[in-house]
Amino acid sequence: MNQKSHVLKISGMTCGCCSGRVTRVLEATPGVIQADISWQNHAGIVITTSDLTTEHVMAIVKSTGFGVSA
């Protein structure tokens, strides 16, 4: 299985609950292997199967109510 790493800048997170919510939603998504989201750094690294695009991962983050860019 091929893997892809997506490095994201995430805005609007103010606490560990925020990053935890983003992590839970991402890791519940088929094709997401691991999500390491840091509210302190306003960033995240998401490891996925090669089927998921960065745009798809960004759309998932946006659905949680936070801003995101690659």
| Angle, in degrees to the nearest 10, between helices 54-63 and 16-27 | 130
Is the entire prediction scored with pTM above 0.85?
A: yes
Q: How confident is the model at residue 19, as a pLDDT?
A: 97
Count: domains in the chain: 1
Domain of 22? Answer: 3-69
Assess whether pLDDT exceeds 80 at residue 1: no
Three-class secondary structure of residue 30 per DSSP: coil
* C-alpha 15: how far from chain center: 15
How far is Cα 29 from Cα 42, in angstroms, rounded to an integer?
21
- What pLDDT digit, counting tens, does each position of 3-51 carry? 999 999 999 999 999 999 999 999 999 999 999 999 999 999 999 998 9
Q: Which domain CATH number covers 25?
A: 3.30.70.100
Which residues lie closer than 8 Å to 10 by C-beta, 6 or more apart? 22, 37, 42, 43, 44, 61, 66, 67, 68
Q: How confident is the model at residue 44, as a pLDDT?
A: 97
Q: How confident is the model at residue 62, as a pLDDT?
A: 98
